[in-house]
Structure 1
C-alpha cells in the first residue's frame, strides 16, 4: 500500500505547527547572526560577489522571500518569491538552514569562484523533516552575474536543489507497508475484512485546502470529541504529490455511516471503497481497533505517524502499533505537475511490519462467546492453560468495549474460598475432612456474617453448601500477613508482566479480625478480575501458579514473576475439596464430566451509591481453567456447562 504525502521521519514526536513556527523564527534569527558572521569573514577584495550571496541566503533562510528575490535576475521577482516560499511547504519542513560552502570528500572547496563578470557560489542546505533527528543535508550551487556593477543571483530552480528542473517541484512520497496481522495460536489472523471507505483528497484539485481540511476536522469527531489536527493536515497535503490520491481516514461501514454522509458534503473530499482487514473476528476488547490518528493518539504512538494515518487506537492494535505497522519508507522527489517524470533526491528506508501472535485458541474462544451469548447482563470470561499460563480465550459480553475479563474489579465472594482454603491447608494444618461448624449467624470483630445454618461436619461439606460463617470463623487460624502472603502466592496483587492492561487483584492486609474474616469470604476490600481468578483455579489444578501471557512472540518489557510452587499436600486437599463441590455442592451444575472441579458464588457490593451483584464460576477441567463473572444474578454453573460442552446443555 502506498500512502503519498508528508510524513515525519522516525525521530520522535513532532510538535504542533504553531509551536514549531515560533521555534523556526527564534532559531532563524539566531542562525542569521551566525550566518552573517561566517559570511563576512574572508576579506574579499572589491568588487566581490560575497554580499549578494550573503544577502540572498540570509533572506531565504529567515523567510524574507521578497528581499531574496530582489537579489536575483532571470525571471519575474514574484515567481522567485513563490518558488522560495514553497520549499518549506512542499517538504512540510520544521526548519531550513543555509550556510556558505560545502565539503567534497571531506575537503573544503572554494566557496565562491569568480571569473570576470560571472561567479559560482557553493552553499549547504539543511532541512529538518522531523524533529529530534538528523536533518537532510545537501550541497547547493548558484550562479551569479555582475550587471551594471552589481552582483545578482541568476535564478534557476536548481538553486533549491541541483537536480530540480524548470516546471518541477519537491514532494515527499511515503510508502506505507501493509499492516501485519494479529494471529491466533494456530497462526491464523484474528481480523476479518469489512467494507470501508478510504477518505482523502487529491491535493492539486483542492480549490481551498485550508477550508476543506478545517471542515474535515470539524466534522470528524471520534470517540467523544477527538478531532484531527487541521493545521498539521494542511502541511501534509501541501507536501504531497498534487496529482495523487492522499488518504486521510479509513472509515468502516456501517459503523461510521453518519460520518461518511457528513464528509460527503465537504468540498474536495473523495472516497475510495475498499475491503479492509480491520475488524477483530473475536475478542475485540483485547485485540483492539484501528482508527484515525487524532492529536492525542499521536502523543501515544509518536513519530513517524501523523494526522491522516490509520493507527491502532485500542487493545493490542495500539500497544503493538510500531511492530504491526512498521515504519514507512520516505522519499523526497523532484517531479513535474503530472507526476510522470519523477527523480528521487533522497530516501530513508522504513522497517517491515511484523505479525503479533497471540495465545488465543479459536475453538475455546467460540465456546466462551457461546457461553455468554444471550445474557441480559454484562459478563466476561477467561480461559487459561494451567500447565503454561497461556490465555486461551477472552470473552466480554455487553461491556461497552471494556475488557472486563482482564480489567474488571469485582469482589470474588466465596470463590475466594479457594485462596482461603489453600492458606488453611498449607498454614493451619487443616484438610478437607477437618470438622467445622456452620452457624446461621456469626460476628467477628465488627463484621456479621449470615447464611443458612448447617449441622456440624467436615469442611468440604460446609464449603460445598456455601457456608460463609465457616470461613469467617476459620480466619482466626491465620494471621493477617499469612493470608495476604498466600494470596500473593496465587498471583493476586502481583505484577504479571502481561504486556496488556490487566487487574491482578487486590488483597490489602486486614486491619483487624473483622476485616480478616471478610477477606476470608471474598468480601470487604478484596477485589479481583476474572483473569486473576482463572489463574487461581489454574494453580489449584496444576499445583503451581504460573504468570499468564497472551502474546507469544513479543520480548517482555517487564520481567514476569517466577512460577510459585504450592505445597503438594495442600493442593491434594484443595483438588478433593473442589471436586466434591462440583459433584455435590454449589458447582454441580457444571459437572458435565467427572474431572470438572470448581466453585460458584454470588457476591454483593456497593459501587457508585448502588448495591450491585456479581455471579461467579471459577473452575477447571484437565489442562484448562476458567472464570466467569456476570453483573447480575444468573446460574453460572449452567454457563460453565455451555462452555465445557459447546452446546446449550444445562443452559435453561
Structure 2
C-alpha cells in the first residue's frame, strides 16, 4: 500500500506546508482582491486591516507588528510567529469577513476614531487534524490621523488571554487486538521504554530532537523525521510528558543506552502489548513510525508513534489503531486554566479476528521446531477454507507458509491424478507401467522400475515415469484448467499477501510431462498445496481466509465443485500412498491420506531441494515444506500426535 510523500518545507516564521495536501499557502492576491472592492473614504480603516492581515499571512510578522499599537512591536511579532509553531500548522489563510455576509459594512464597522474588523482564520493543522476555520475580531483606533490595530492576543483567537498560548493535545486510543478464532489476543505484553520529553523543559528542542533522530535508526537505517518531531514537540502542551517512541527490551537495550546521552530525554519503563504471541510472520510486529513508514500508513500518525510495521499489524493499521482525538486548547505555560477551542473526534479502533486456532498452531510450531532448515506449514479446514495454523521456522521473518515459491514435485500428482480421473476416464485401478526411464518430447524422467500394477500402487511408489507417460492422455490446456479449478495461480481474494501458484500452459509434450510430475515452471506455496489437499478431502475447492469480518478489496472466487467419481478415486489413491507408499510414516490414524515428495530446483546459482508432505485427516488439511532433505512424514506424524 503506497502513500504520497508527507514531507514538509518550512515557510517564513515557522509556518510549514505539507506536500501531501493540495492546500497551498494563499498569497496576497486573493486577500487583496477581497479587501479592495468598493469605494472607501480616504480615512478608512481598510488599508490598515488589509496590510496587517497580508503581512501576518505571508509571515512578515515585523511588518504586521508595525501596523499595531498598544504593546512593544517585537512582542506582537513574536506572538504572531509562534502561532504556526504552537499548532504545527501546514498553512494559514486569512480573509476579511466571517463568510456569513459579503456586505462590506459588516466587515469593518467604524465609530469615530475607533473601528471593529471581522475576519476569518483558516489553519491547516496537517497531521494534527482537519483544517480549522474560525472567526476573528480586531479593534482599531486612529492615532495621529492613521488607523492602527490595537494589539491583543485575542486577535489570534478570541478566547486567547494574555499569558496564554495555543497547544495541540492528541489523545491516542488504545490499540485494538488481533485475536485468534476464540477471541483471545495474539499480542502479548513485553518490557519496553516510553521515550519522550517534557517540551517546556527542553533547553534546545532542535538539538535534542536532531540527536534523537541521529541515534534512533531501525531496520537497515530507517530514521525518524527530526523536523516533524520538532513540530510535534513545539505544538504539545509544554508541561505534559510527550512520548515520542516506544523501545522494546532487550531488543533495543543498546539504543536505549545511547539515547541516555541525549539531553532532555526521559525514559519510562512500561509493559507494552507489542509482541506477537505466535505466528509472528502473519500477525506482524509493531515499531516506531520512521519517515518511510509514515509514507505507507499516512496521516494522522506522527513520527515515533508505535504502528504496524509488518503482517496484519501493518495491513490493518488504521482499523487496529483507529485515529486520535485532536484538541486545540488555550492554556498558560503551567497548563492551568486550559480551555478547549476546537476538537476533532477520532475513530475508535476495532479488533481484527483471525481464524487461527491455538491448539493447531502449537502443534505445528512444535513439529517444525529444531529442524536444521527453513520450514513452513499451513493447516486449513477443508469444509470452510479457514486457515487454522501458519507456522514458519528459520525463515528470517518472512511468511513462506503463504508466500514461499517452490516446485511441488510429485505432490502435484494430486492435481495430475484428479485431471486423469475426471478428463481421461481413468480410476485408481487402471493398469499402468513404471519403467526406470521414459522420454517425452525433449525431457527424460527416471526412477526405480516397478512391475505392471494399478495406478494407485504406482502413485504410492512415487513413479514419476508413470505420470510422465500418462501426460499423453491430457492436452496442455486441460491440465492447466484442472490446476486452475484447484485454485492454483488464481486470485483468492485473501486479505493478506500470498503466492497462489504459477502453472504456465505447457508449450510442448516435454513441458506437459514435466508439469504432470510437478517440475519445470510449476511453482506453489505451502498454502496452495494445503488447499489442494483440502479439495481432495472435501470434493470442493474453497478459497482460503484468515481474517473474519474484514471487507475484501478483491472478491473471493466461488467454490469449485469437483467431479465426485474423480474425488472418490483420488481419495483411494492417497489412502494407498499413506498406508503403503511415500506417506506411510505419517499414518498415525487410519483416516490419514497424503503424499510425500522431494523436489529439486535451482535458486540462482545454487542447487536446492524442498521436502514436502501434503495430506489431510478428517476436517484438517495441511502442507509442510522444508528447504532441505528431511523425513516429512515423521514431521507430519509429530504434528498429528501433538
How high is the TM-score relative to the length of structure 1?
A: 0.95
1:305 equivalent to 2:301? Answer yes
Compute the displacement of 1:563 (Å): 0.2
Could you say which residue in structure 2 is the equivalent of 1:245?
Answer: 241
**1:308, distance to aligned residue in structure 2 (A):** 2.1
Query: Structure 1 residues 55 and 540 mapped into 2: Cα distance closer, same or farther (>3 Å)?
Result: same
1:287-316 Cα deviation digits (max 9, x unpaired)? 001111112211211111121211111000
The SS at the match of 1:110 is helix
- Cα gap change, 1:509/1:132 in structure 2, threshold over 3 Å: closer, same or farther? farther
Aligned residue in 2 for 1:505: 501
Matched, 1:641 2:602: no
Q: 8 Å contact 1:14–1:131 — kept in the other structure?
A: no
**Alpha-carbon distance between aligned partners in 1 of 2:83 and 2:131, rounded to the nearest angstrom:** 15
The answer to whether residue 453 in structure 2 is matched with residue 457 in structure 1 is yes
Deviates more, 1:40-49 or 1:351-360: 40-49
Cα offsets for 1:492-532 (capped at 9, x unmatched): 00000001000000010011111111111111100000000
Whether 2:9 is the aligned partner of 1:18: answer yes
Secondary structure of 2:106's partner?
Answer: coil
Please give the alpha-carbon distance, in whole angstroms, between the structure 1 residues aligned to 2:103 and 2:388: 63
Q: How many residues align?
A: 635
Partner residue in 2 for 1:429? 425
Name the counterpart of 2:592: 596
How far apart, CA to CA, are the structure 1 residues paired with 2:388 and 2:127? 43
Match for residue 315 of structure 2 among 300, 315, 319: 319
Q: In 1, are the aligned partners of 2:363 and 2:639 still within 8 Å (CA)?
A: yes
Q: 1:153 aligns with which of 149, 155, 168?
A: 149
- Work out whether 1:355 is the aligned partner of 2:351: yes
**1:159 Cα deviation (Å)?**
0.4
- Of the three residues 304, 325, 338, the one matched with 2:334 is 338
Could you say if the C-alpha distance between residues 107 and 353 of structure 1 is closer, same or farther in structure 2, counting changes exceeding 3 Å?
farther
* Runs of 5+ unmatched residues, structure 1: 1-11, 647-652
Output the CA distance in 1 between the equivalents of 2:113 and 2:37: 22
Given the alignment of the two structures, is residue 272 of structure 1 paired with residue 268 of structure 2, yes or no?
yes
Partner of 1:481: 477
- 1:411 corresponds to 2:402: no
Q: C-alpha deviations, 1:293-351, integer Å up to 9, x for none?
A: 11221121111112121111100000001110111111111011111211011111111
- Of stretches 218-227 and 555-564 in structure 1, the one that deviates more from structure 2 is 218-227
**Contact 1:13/1:304 (<8 A) preserved:** no
Partner of 1:234: 230
Structure 1 distance, partners of 2:54, 2:101, is 26
CA distance in 2, matches of 1:176, 1:53: 40
- 1:570 to 2:561 alignment: no
1:284–1:30: structure 2 CA closer, same or farther, 3 Å change rule? closer
Shift in alpha-carbon separation, 1:492–1:182, aligned structure 2, 3 A = same
Contact kept? 2:16, 2:84, Cα under 8 Å: no
> How far apart in 1 are the matches of 2:595 and 2:52?
83
In structure 1, what is the equivalent of residue 90 of structure 2?
94
Question: Conserved in 1, the CA contact under 8 Å of 2:140 and 2:148?
Answer: yes
Cα contact 2:25–2:92 (8 A) shared by 1: no
2:76 maps to 80
Q: After the TM superposition, which of the residue ranges 243-252 and 577-586 deviates more from structure 2?
A: 243-252
Q: For structure 1, which segment, 211-220 or 36-45, has the greater mean C-alpha deviation from structure 2 after superposition?
A: 36-45
Deviates more, 1:95-104 or 1:431-440: 95-104
Query: Once structures 1 and 2 are overlaid, which stretch shifts more, 438-447 or 576-585?
Result: 438-447
**Aligned position for 2:32:** 36
User: How far did residue 42 of structure 1 move?
Assistant: 2.8
Q: Deviations over 1:604-644 (max 9, x none)?
A: 10012000010000000000000000001110000001110
Q: Is the 8 A contact 2:16 2:89 kept in 1?
A: no
Partner of 2:530: 534
Separation of aligned partners in 1, 2:475 and 2:10: 59
Segments of 5+ residues of structure 2 without an aligned counterpart are: none
Q: Residue 14 of structure 1 contacts residue 130 of structure 1 at CA under 8 Å; is this kept in 2? A: no
Q: 2:360 matched to 1:369? A: no
- Does 2:384 align with 1:393? no
Query: What secondary structure does 1:18 align onto?
Result: strand
User: Who is 1:521 aligned against?
Assistant: 517
- Cα distance 1:499–1:476, how it changes in 2: closer, same or farther (>3 A)? same
* Cα displacement string for residues 342-392 of structure 1 (whole angstroms, at most 9, x for unaligned residues): 101111111100000000000000000010011110000000000000000
Contact 2:165 2:330 in 1 (8 A): yes
Partners of 1:161 and 1:108 in 2: CA distance: 22
SS at match of 1:463: helix
- Asked if the contact 1:102/1:109 (under 8 Å) is kept, the reply is no
C-alpha contact 2:6 2:295 (8 A) present in aligned 1: no
Whether the aligned pair in 1 keeps the contact of 2:533 and 2:616 (CA below 8 Å) is yes
Over 3 Å counting, the alpha-carbon distance change for 1:73 and 1:14 in structure 2 is farther
Shift of 1:234: 1.2
Matches within 5 A, 1:203-242: 203-242=199-238
Q: CA deviation at 1:581?
A: 0.6
Aligned counterpart, 1:649: none
C-alpha distance in 1 between matches for 2:190 and 2:261: 24
How big is each residue's C-alpha offset from its partner over 1:71-101, in whole Å with a ceiling of 9 and x where there is no partner? 1112111111110001011111111111111
The TM-score normalised by the length of structure 2 is 0.96
Query: Does 2:109 align with 1:113?
Result: yes
Alignment of 1:551-562 (within 5 A): 551-562=547-558
